[in-house]
């Protein structure tokens, strides 16, 4: 419950912080922290332009997308307090719900019959497809490490004791961050700033959405950011008391946002054709994580 | 009784040669069928009662005779449907039916004969009468086929005779100079194996001409191709059985001697090679009748394989033999219709038979299922027993190779059959033929039904007869 | 008319068989022994929960298939003979499949099996004046024949050892003989049934047979026929209850390969039905994973694992039979409307046939395993099986499991890619070629069974607990030889599953809510209709939109080394370029190397011997002479060799 | 005496191998018939009249008169060229036939059998095998028939080698069969001559796969 509300709140400031960081990094006086939220609010009040080729799918997809993200957020725990949805294997639901939303977004992009959006859709489908094994193997190895299969229990039982476990923590965090970047199609994979349709992934998918729908989609994107942020946070919170967790959580989220901003302003985007390899690297990294866990538990016979 | 039967049928044959009237001819046919059945029933009732010195209707001969009598009905009946709507020349017809009768008669006698030389004589007579049937169409192709058939068969029968002579040399050692099978069975263990081996080699190779195995199967293919379909139906079923009877009786004798193992190995090799050759040509031939002929080679290979494998294989061999006779003859009879429809035996010029003659096409479909031993064909049961025998006697390697070959054969046969049944021939879509009445296919359906019935639910009497006919081998 | 009679027959058979099946699922098995004949021996019939489960799903698919077939076969009334044969074999196939599920005597089992095979063969070759169809049909027939031979050999082996054709003989075999033998037997059985089920590398008949067959037949085949293979494997595992661990590892690994390979090839297909066929292979892989987990659970004596595995496998069997038949039926609607199956030629069909599009969407989300549909439930069970396995088993199997997790998640992602491609290219966007449209949408009679299936799909997705309850007995039967301690873990894992349905419901209602809000909010606002934003280009044509092939181009580049994709291309060149094109022909490497290549070699080898029947009499005689001489000479040679050996020994 | 006759018989086989005119073949047949008569007459001198008559019929009438004359008639009627035209050169066939004879001799060494004098055995088997060899090495149909008769002669000698003779009836049947088959073959050569210009086996190889 707490986590849900917190994520909702954080999601409002998250993009603002990123943009702020970037502007500072590039020596500009950027917009206010809440500017993105204002944009979304404005969008929500606007009318919309829609293409003749589109059909009902184009209309419903954004709502379902947002719903899927919200459900996914509900799964997340925070320290002692479970998420709204918590049961053994809930992260499977987490992944598949997100996939369902993405499925419809891809279809809505195809619905416009535009070559650019098709391009974006195909990239989105391929990349997220490649990212999924990484996530599952990561969760599998966490399950192996802790002996539980729900976010809440896993994170509760997570202890970092030995030196190897710190290494594991770093790897896990890296994988999670990168998955987050892929899912939100941010920096190393895709750059929202470049307004060249041929090189974009997510932005080009939603070229034709406007007004309320666009607002929904953007808010969903922000939520996703915060969601992955909270995953990373949970990785470190463990079973601290609540009065510690909440500030820690917020802190980590903000730190994450800053990190993303820094990353975006000081690194360059991959060539589109290299993305696939990069994402596959994540899977192998998570395999490393798994082997590390085996080593840690001494399960090698 | 047997003398009555022989003389009677010879007389009927003579009348057929002489007579030119169509109705009389039909009556003669009916009369002969009655005679044939009387004899079968009589032999069934007087089992193992010696007829004079040279004949004993034992279990095997009874099985074979009844099979023959069953198949001869559609063969003779269909002879009218296929050949005599076109050129109905009384003389040719007389010769045809006359030699048909002589063929059936001599087959019966050869089954029943209890003296190795008497069997030989009647087998030789089958060669002569069969060649008359092959020659029926009197064109260059049939002449060639006839020529080859007579020549190869005569040579092979000379082999058989040489074999018999060696056997009697072997008998010469002990003062026993009558070559009844019963006596041979009794004295066999004490005979000189050198002569026995020689004898077996010659007899076996001689009979392969009738049985349709390598090395002498060659002429039989041409014969089945060129003979009219009803005759071909007999050739590919009961005429092969006579070869089997010859081999089987000899095998019975040798099974009691010290060279039993050697005999098994020889037969195993031959049978396997025959299946291989059949597969080779199955992949090659484009002529329906020749394709069926090669499939007969394959099945005879399986039969002899079963015999060599022993155990339950003995039972399987005879069962498979009988079922194959029914299935194959029914297919050949249907090929007669096919030929009537398309005026060709070449697969390329036959197509979409399903459109012109539905019952016939369905029959070919079922015939294909039966002959390739897919369930519910009864031959599936017999092949199952063969597998079991092969596994039981430790010939697993042979079994695997055989399965591969059988699969190839099914594939090749299936391609051709379904091409003929379904895919229309370009340029011949508008083919106008007189519709074949479904009744003409009825008898063939009955034969196939027999295959299924005898395979799945054999009546006790039938099974007992088979068991009794292999009684000498289980020792 | 004939169709109606056939439907009646199917209904009667279904009714007769369903009653005992339901009773079995409620806990009372039906046993009956026919006395049989000399050959077969007694024929025990048995309807236990396992066969009951399969009987029910078979009946459902057959009924829907028949109802859909009624309208599908309308255009062919001008071929009465073919149509009647089609319906006759449809009914026979139904009877045969049910018999296979019921009978416990190997000979009758093989008979029923073959009746089923031949029936389906006739169904597949309905459009039998096409050489292509016949070719596919024969391919199917021969591969099934190989399967039958393998089954026959293994049954014969059993009967030769244990002396009976009844199924108990198999378990007796397993008990009395060495375990290595029963493992070998299991492998032979698996190969035989695997050909039917379409496990890689025995899958090659599927992608040929399905496009050739009429749509309701392909729906039926891919819905239930290949499941019979699964049934056989489960039955054999049940009978040969030894060395589970080895079997489990084998099945799990081959299933992972099957799943990945199937979906990898599915993506690059151009023919819709071929694509669906390859997806059947993929789903067989998923089912196989479930079975593998189950076996490993049995082997390691871990009831919870076994239960999850078997439950997932069985449930996915049902699910796949539902959404796959629905997909094929909708494909049938499409092919009836526009007479092609080439995905790249469609486009914008959703306007012409909205109902079909809607049903196809549901089915494709289900097959991707997305909530709130049934595919998600079974994949969830299998996934949790994997995670339990990782938690609770030792080192080697852990690696196996993590590979399986990798495979299954990859499969899920690729499936999404594949079906976004299919749905997007077929139904969305604008029409690429103006194909002549016969009828917009099928009559309500033809749509009715489709809606029924869709309803069931959604029902399983939302209320899984009901079906899980039905699954209880079969799973308990499969894990019968384990201590009942694991039942508890089963209970709570099933409680979890019932909650999944709840959350899916929540998902639906939440998105509904948001959509409502959207409607309210944007109610009064202006909505400007305009052309799709062409990024500045003002004259976009239908030909410009992303095609299916271009949609998967990036993937193809990745996967090319693993697949055999033939390409023909002509690039744009010169100042006034001519017509440029680029074609890809997805091939199947396994088929090439496992079937075509050896077959070619074999034929060449056998061709060498075709000089024998050369028509020359001299040769015919020579064969005999050579044969005699060999037979006479060989023993003499042996004797001489002995003689010489003797001589040498004397010196 | 018998030995001499049999040796002559064997030599006739060698002569057959190198002869190159059909008429010579026919003459050889007649000669072999006479030899057979001699052998049988000496061998079976003490047997009853009926059997003797039978043997006479079989050897003199059929083998040394009827068949050769008939062959001659066939050759004339079909205007078959007089040369034998074998596939293989005479020297080779001579060598092969010799080898055959020698090998049969070697085989006969393996026999330990008091009731059989091996000279019969050797002659008979060498006749049979060289007959087979002639069939497969000659081109003309007529030569096939002639070689077939040679094989038959070998068989007769073998049946003499068998100490105990067949029952009368059987013997009769055998005789009948040989007779019929040979004449049937002859008739067929005429038929072949009708359809094909020349009694040559080349035209007779259409039926093949």
Chain D residues lying within 8 Å of B155, measured CB to CB: 132, 135, 148, 151
Domain check: are C316 and C369 in the same one? yes
Query: Is residue C15 within 8 Å of residue C97, measured between CB atoms?
Result: no
Q: pLDDT tens, B212-261?
A: 998 899 989 999 999 999 999 999 999 999 999 999 999 999 998 999 99
Domain check: are C85 and C56 in the same one? yes
Chain B residues lying within 8 Å of C620, measured CB to CB: 148, 152, 216, 218-219
Instruction: Give the gap in angstroms from C-alpha D90 to the nearest C-alpha of chain B.
Output: 24
Chain mean pLDDT for chain B: 90
B152–C620 CB contact, under 8 Å: yes
The pLDDT of residue C183: 92
CA-nearest residue to C624 within chain D is D132
**Touching chains, B (3+ CB pairs < 8 A):** C, D
B218 touching C (Cβ < 8 Å): yes
C514–A92 CB contact, under 8 Å: no
Note which residues in 35-64 of chain D have CB less than 8 A from chain B: none
Chain B residues lying within 8 Å of C39, measured CB to CB: 381, 455-458
Chain mean pLDDT for chain D: 80
CA-nearest residue to B152 within chain D is D148
Query: What is the distance between the alpha carbons of residues C116 and C220, in angstroms, rounded to a whole number?
Result: 12
A275 pLDDT more than 70:
yes
The pLDDT of residue D185: 72
C549 touching B (Cβ < 8 Å): no
Instruction: Give the gap in angstroms from C-alpha D89 to the nearest C-alpha of chain B.
Output: 25
φ/ψ (deg, to 5) at C611: -85, -10
b (16+ CB within 10 A) / e for A1-13: ebbbebbeebbbb
The pLDDT of residue A164: 78
A67 touching C (Cβ < 8 Å): yes
Option in B151, B280, B411 nearest C606 (CB): B280
Q: pLDDT tens, A105-129?
A: 999 999 988 888 888 899 888 988 8
Task: Flag whether C70 is in a domain.
Answer: yes
B215–C632 CB contact, under 8 Å: no
Q: Using only the alpha carbons of chain A, give its radius of gyration.
A: 19
Query: Is residue B226 within 8 Å of residue B134, measured between CB atoms?
Result: yes
Query: What is the distance between the alpha carbons of residues A117 and B406, in angstroms, rounded to a whole number?
Result: 56
C624–D132 CB contact, under 8 Å: yes
Query: What is the distance between the alpha carbons of residues D153 and C397, in angstroms, rounded to a whole number?
Result: 80
Query: Is residue C92 within 8 Å of residue C114, measured between CB atoms?
Result: no
CA dihedral sign, ordered C249, C255, C260, C261: positive
CA-nearest residue to C152 within chain B is B384
Instruction: Give the gap in angstroms from C-alpha B313 to the nearest C-alpha of chain D.
Output: 32
D204–C624 CB contact, under 8 Å: no
| C148 token code pair | 């039958």
Identify the burial level of C31 via C-beta atoms within 10 angstroms of its C-beta, where 0-12 means exposed, 13-18 middle and 19 or more buried.
exposed
Q: pLDDT tens, A184-196?
A: 888 788 877 776 6
Helices and strands, counts by H and E, chain C: 25, 5
C137 touching B (Cβ < 8 Å): yes
H/E stretch holding C47:
strand C43-47
ipTM: 0.91
D195–B143 CB contact, under 8 Å: yes
Residue C57's pLDDT band, with cuts at 50, 70 and 90, is very high
What are the C-alpha distances in Å from D145 to residues B207, C463, C549?
21, 89, 73
**Touching chains, A (3+ CB pairs < 8 A):** C
Chain D residues lying within 8 Å of B227, measured CB to CB: none
The pLDDT of residue C613: 87
C518–A53 CB contact, under 8 Å: no
Q: Which of B131-135, B203-207, D124-128, D157-161 is the least confident region? A: D157-161
Instruction: Kindly report the length of chain C.
Output: 651
Residue B430's pLDDT band, with cuts at 50, 70 and 90, is low
φ/ψ (deg, to 5) at C496: -55, -45
Q: Which residue has the higher pLDDT, C197 or C177?
A: C197
Query: Is residue C268 within 8 Å of residue C552, measured between CB atoms?
Result: yes
**Touching chains, D (3+ CB pairs < 8 A):** B, C
Q: How many CB atoms lie within 10 A of CB C472?
A: 18
CA dihedral sign, ordered A138, A144, A150, A151: negative
Domain span at A293:
2-297
Chain C residues lying within 8 Å of D204, measured CB to CB: 615, 617
Helices and strands, counts by H and E, chain B: 20, 0
Q: pLDDT tens, C608-641?
A: 998 888 888 889 999 999 999 998 888 778 878 8
B143–D206 CB contact, under 8 Å: no
CA-nearest residue to D133 within chain C is C622
CA-nearest residue to D186 within chain B is B147
Task: Flag whether C118 is in a domain.
Answer: yes
D155 touching B (Cβ < 8 Å): yes
Of the candidates C314, C242, C325, the residue with the CA atom closest to the CA atom of residue C276 = C325
- Residue C314 sits at the vertex; the CA angle it makes with C309 and C315, to the nearest 5 degrees, is 100
Query: Is residue C306 within 8 Å of residue C509, measured between CB atoms?
Result: no
Alpha-carbon B391 to chain mean position: 27
Chain B residues lying within 8 Å of D110, measured CB to CB: 194
b (16+ CB within 10 A) / e for B277-313: bbbbbbbbbebbbbbbbbbbbbbbbbbbbbbbbbbbb
Q: Which residue shows structure tokens 């109905």?
A: B88
Residue C310's pLDDT band, with cuts at 50, 70 and 90, is very high
Q: Which of B82-91, B355-364, C212-221, C441-450 is the least confident region? A: B82-91
| A294 token code pair | 């085996």
C615–D207 CB contact, under 8 Å: yes
A93–C500 CB contact, under 8 Å: yes
C551 touching A (Cβ < 8 Å): yes
C477 touching B (Cβ < 8 Å): no
Chains D and A touch (3+ CB pairs under 8 A): no
H/E stretch holding B286:
none
Chain B residues lying within 8 Å of C613, measured CB to CB: 218, 221, 281
B205–C138 CB contact, under 8 Å: no
In the predicted model, what is the mean pLDDT of residues D23-27? 90
Alpha-carbon A187 to chain mean position: 13
In the predicted model, what is the mean pLDDT of residues C566-587? 85
- Those residues whose C-beta lies under 8 Å from the C-beta of residue B46, and which sit 6 or more positions away, are B1, B57
Query: What is the distance between the alpha carbons of residues C558 and A45, in angstroms, rounded to a whole number?
Result: 43
Q: pLDDT tens, B105-136?
A: 999 999 999 988 889 989 989 998 999 999 88
What is the β-pairing status of strands C527-530 and C581-587? unpaired
b (16+ CB within 10 A) / e for A249-284: bbebbeebbbebbbbbbeeebbebeebbeebeebbe
Domain span at C645:
614-651
Domain boundaries along the sequence of chain B: 1-258, 262-475
Report how many domains make up chain C: 3
Report how many domains make up chain A: 1
Instruction: Give the gap in angstroms from C-alpha B181 to the nearest C-alpha of chain D.
Output: 15
The pLDDT of residue C486: 57
Q: pLDDT tens, B302-329?
A: 999 999 998 899 999 999 999 999 999 9
Chain mean pLDDT for chain C: 90
Chain A residues lying within 8 Å of C396, measured CB to CB: 301
DSSP structural state of residue C300: T
Query: What is the distance between the alpha carbons of residues C241 and B332, in angstroms, rounded to a whole number?
Result: 49
Query: Is residue A150 within 8 Å of residue A90, measured between CB atoms?
Result: yes
B38 pLDDT more than 70:
yes
Q: Which of C39, C92, C181, C630 to substitute to test the interface with B, most B CBs within 10 Å?
A: C39
Q: Which of A90-99, B418-427, C390-399 is the least confident region? A: C390-399
Of the candidates B238, C611, C508, C540, the residue with the CA atom closest to the CA atom of residue D209 = C611
């Amino acid at each position: 419950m707490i986590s849900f509300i917190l994520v909702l709140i954080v999601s409002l400031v998250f993009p603002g912080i990123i943009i702020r960081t970037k502007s500072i990094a590039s020596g500009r006086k950027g917009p206010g922290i809440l500017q993105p939220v204002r944009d979304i609010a404005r969008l929500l009040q606007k009318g919309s332009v829609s293409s003749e080729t589109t059909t009902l799918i184009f209309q419903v997809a954004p709502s379902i997308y947002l719903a899927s993200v919200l459900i996914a957020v509900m799964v997340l725990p925070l320290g002692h307090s479970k998420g709204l949805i918590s049961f053994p294997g809930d992260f499977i639901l987490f992944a598949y719900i997100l996939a369902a939303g993405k499925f419809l977004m891809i279809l809505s992009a195809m619905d416009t019959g535009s070559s650019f959006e098709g391009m974006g859709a195909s990239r989105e489908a391929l990349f997220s497809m490649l990212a999924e094994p990484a996530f599952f193997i990561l969760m599998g190895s966490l399950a192996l490490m802790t002996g539980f299969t729900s976010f809440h229990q896993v994170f509760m039982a997570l202890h970092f004791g030995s030196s190897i476990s710190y290494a594991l923590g770093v790897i896990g965090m890296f994988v999670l961050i990168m998955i987050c970047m892929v899912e939100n199609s941010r920096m190393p994979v895709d750059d929202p700033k470049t307004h060249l349709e041929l090189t974009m992934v997510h932005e080009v998918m939603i070229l034709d959405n406007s007004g309320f729908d666009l607002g929904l989609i953007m808010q969903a994107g922000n939520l996703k950011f915060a969601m992955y942020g909270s995953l990373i946070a949970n990785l470190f919170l463990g079973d601290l008391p609540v009065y510690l967790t909440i500030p820690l959580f917020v802190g980590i989220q903000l730190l994450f946002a800053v990190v993303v901003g820094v990353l975006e302003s000081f690194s360059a985007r991959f060539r589109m054709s290299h993305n696939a390899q990069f994402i596959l690297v994540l899977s192998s990294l998570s395999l490393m994580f798994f082997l590390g866990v085996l080593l840690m538990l001494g399960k090698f016979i | 009784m047997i003398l009555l039967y022989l003389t009677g049928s010879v007389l009927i044959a003579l009348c057929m040669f002489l007579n030119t009237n169509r109705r009389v001819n039909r009556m003669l046919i009916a009369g002969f069928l009655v005679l044939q059945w009387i004899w079968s029933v009589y032999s069934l009732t007087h089992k193992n009662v010696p007829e004079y010195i040279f004949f004993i209707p034992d279990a095997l001969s009874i099985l074979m005779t009844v099979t023959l009598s069953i198949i001869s009905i559609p063969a003779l009946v269909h002879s009218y449907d296929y050949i005599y709507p076109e050129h109905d020349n009384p003389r040719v017809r007389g010769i045809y039916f006359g030699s048909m009768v002589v063929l059936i008669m001599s087959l019966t006698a050869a089954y029943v004969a209890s003296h190795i030389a008497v069997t030989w004589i009647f087998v030789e007579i089958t060669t002569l009468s069969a060649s008359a049937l092959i020659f029926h169409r009197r064109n260059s192709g049939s002449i060639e086929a006839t020529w080859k058939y007579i020549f190869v068969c005569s040579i092979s029968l000379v082999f058989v005779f040489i074999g018999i002579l060696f056997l009697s040399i072997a008998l010469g050692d002990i003062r026993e100079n009558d070559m009844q099978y019963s006596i041979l069975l009794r004295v066999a263990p004490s005979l000189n194996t050198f002569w026995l081996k020689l004898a077996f080699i010659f007899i076996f190779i001689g009979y392969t001409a009738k049985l349709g195995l390598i090395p002498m199967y060659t002429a039989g293919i041409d014969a089945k191709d060129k003979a009219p379909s009803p005759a071909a139906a007999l050739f590919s079923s009961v005429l092969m059985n006579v070869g089997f009877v010859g081999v089987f009786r000899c095998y019975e004798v040798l099974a009691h001697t010290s060279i039993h193992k050697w005999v098994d190995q020889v037969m195993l090799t031959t049978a396997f090679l025959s299946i291989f050759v059949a597969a080779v040509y199955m992949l090659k031939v484009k002529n329906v009748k020749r394709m069926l002929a090669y499939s007969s080679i394959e099945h005879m290979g399986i039969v002899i394989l079963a015999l060599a494998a022993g155990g339950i294989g003995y039972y399987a061999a005879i069962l498979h033999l009988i079922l194959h006779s029914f299935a194959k003859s029914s297919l050949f009879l249907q090929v007669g219709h096919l030929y009537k429809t398309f005026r060709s035996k070449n697969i390329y010029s036959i197509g979409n038979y399903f459109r012109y003659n539905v019952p016939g096409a369905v029959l070919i479909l079922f015939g294909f299922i039966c002959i390739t031993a897919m369930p519910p064909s009864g031959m599936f049961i017999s092949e199952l027993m063969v597998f079991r025998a092969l596994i039981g006697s430790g010939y697993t390697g042979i079994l695997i190779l055989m399965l591969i070959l059988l699969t190839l054969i099914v594939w090749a046969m299936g391609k051709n059959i379904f091409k003929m049944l379904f895919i229309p021939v370009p340029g011949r879509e508008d083919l106008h033929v007189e519709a074949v009445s479904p009744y003409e296919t009825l008898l063939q359906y009955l034969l196939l039904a027999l295959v299924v019935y005898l395979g799945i639910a054999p009546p006790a009497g039938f099974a007992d007869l088979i068991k009794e006919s292999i009684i000498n081998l289980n020792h | 008319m004939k169709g109606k009679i056939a439907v009646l027959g199917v209904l009667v058979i279904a009714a007769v068989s369903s009653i005992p099946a339901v009773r079995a699922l409620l806990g009372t098995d039906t046993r009956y022994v026919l006395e049989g004949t000399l050959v077969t021996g007694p024929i025990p019939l048995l309807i236990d929960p396992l066969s009951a489960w399969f009987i029910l799903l078979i009946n459902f698919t057959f009924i829907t298939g028949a109802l859909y077939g009624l309208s599908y076969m309308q255009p062919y009334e001008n071929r009465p003979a073919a149509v009647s044969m089609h319906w006759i074999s449809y009914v026979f196939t139904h009877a045969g499949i049910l018999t296979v599920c019921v009978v416990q005597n190997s000979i009758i089992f093989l008979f029923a099996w073959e009746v089923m095979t031949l029936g389906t063969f006739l169904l597949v070759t309905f459009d039998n004046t096409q050489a292509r169809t016949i070719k596919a049909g024969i391919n199917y027939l021969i591969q099934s024949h190989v399967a039958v031979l393998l089954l026959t050999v293994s049954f014969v082996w059993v009967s030769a050892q244990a002396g009976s054709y009844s199924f108990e003989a198999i378990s007796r075999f397993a008990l009395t003989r060495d375990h290595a033998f029963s493992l070998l037997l299991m492998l032979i059985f698996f190969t035989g049934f695997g050909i039917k089920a379409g496990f890689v590398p025995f899958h090659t008949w599927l992608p040929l047979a399905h496009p050739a067959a009429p749509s309701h037949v392909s729906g039926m085949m891919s819905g239930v026929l290949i499941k019979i293979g699964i049934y056989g494997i489960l039955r054999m595992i049940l009978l040969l209850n030894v060395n589970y661990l080895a079997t489990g590892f084998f099945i799990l690994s081959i299933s992972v390969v099957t799943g990945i390979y199937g979906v990898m090839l599915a993506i690059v297909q151009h023919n819709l039905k071929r694509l669906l066929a390859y997806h059947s292979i993929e789903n067989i892989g998923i089912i196989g994973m479930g079975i593998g987990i189950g076996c490993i659970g049995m082997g390691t004596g871990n009831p919870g694992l076994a239960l999850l595995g078997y439950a997932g496998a069985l449930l996915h069997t049902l699910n796949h039979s539902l959404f796959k038949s629905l997909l094929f039926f909708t494909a049938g609607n499409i092919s009836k409307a526009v007479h092609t199956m080439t995905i790249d030629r469609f486009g914008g069909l959703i306007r012409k046939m909205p109902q079909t599009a809607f049903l196809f969407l549901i089915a494709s989300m289900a097959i991707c395993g997305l909530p709130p549909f049934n595919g998600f439930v079974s994949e969830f069970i299998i996934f949790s099986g994997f995670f339990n396995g990782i938690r609770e088993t030792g080192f080697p199997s852990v690696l196996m499991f993590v590979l399986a997790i990798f495979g299954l998640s990859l499969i899920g992602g690729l499936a999404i890619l594949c079906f976004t491609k299919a749905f997007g290219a077929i139904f969305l966007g604008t029409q690429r070629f103006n194909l002549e449209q016969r009828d917009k949408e099928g009559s309500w009679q033809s749509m009715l069974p489709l809606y029924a299936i869709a309803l069931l799909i959604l029902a399983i997705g939302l209320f899984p607990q009901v079906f899980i309850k039905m699954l209880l007995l079969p799973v308990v039967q499969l894990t019968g030889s384990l201590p009942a301690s694991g039942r508890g873990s089963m209970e709570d894992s099933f409680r979890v599953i019932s909650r999944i349905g709840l959350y899916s419901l929540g998902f639906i209602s939440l998105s509904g809510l948001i959509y409502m809000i959207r409607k309210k909010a944007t109610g009064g606002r202006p909505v400007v209709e305009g052309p799709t934003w062409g990024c500045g280009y003002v004259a976009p044509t239908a030909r410009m939109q992303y095609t299916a092939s271009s949609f998967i181009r990036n993937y193809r580049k990745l996967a090319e080394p693993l697949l055999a994709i033939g390409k023909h291309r002509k690039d744009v060149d010169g100042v006034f370029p001519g017509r440029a094109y680029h074609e890809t022909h997805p091939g199947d490497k396994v088929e090439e190397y496992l079937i075509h290549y050896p077959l070619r070699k074999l034929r060449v080898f056998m061709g060498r011997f075709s000089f024998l029947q050369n028509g020359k009499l001299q040769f015919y005689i020579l064969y005999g002479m050579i044969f005699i001489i060999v037979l006479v000479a060989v023993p003499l040679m042996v004797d001489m060799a002995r003689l010489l050996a003797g001589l040498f020994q004397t010196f | 005496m018998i030995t001499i006759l049999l040796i002559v018989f064997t030599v006739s086989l060698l002569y057959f191998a190198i002869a190159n005119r059909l008429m010579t073949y026919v003459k050889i047949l007649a000669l072999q018939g006479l030899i057979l008569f001699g052998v049988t007459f000496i061998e079976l001198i003490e047997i009853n009249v009926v059997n003797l008559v039978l043997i006479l019929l079989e050897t003199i009438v059929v083998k040394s008169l009827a068949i050769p004359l008939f062959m001659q008639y066939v050759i004339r009627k079909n205007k078959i060229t007089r040369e034998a035209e074998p596939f293989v050169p005479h020297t080779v066939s001579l060598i092969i036939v010799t080898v055959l004879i020698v090998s049969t001799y070697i085989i006969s060494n393996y026999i330990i059998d008091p009731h059989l004098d091996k000279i019969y055995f050797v002659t008979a088997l060498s006749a049979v095998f060289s007959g087979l060899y002639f069939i497969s090495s000659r081109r003309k149909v007529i030569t096939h028939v002639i070689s077939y008769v040679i094989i038959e002669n070998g068989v007769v000698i073998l049946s003499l080698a068998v100490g105990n003779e067949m029952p009368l009836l059987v013997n009769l049947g055998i005789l009948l069969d040989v007779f019929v088959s040979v004449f049937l073959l002859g008739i067929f050569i005429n038929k072949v001559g009708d359809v094909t210009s020349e009694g040559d086996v080349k035209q007779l190889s259409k039926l093949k796969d």
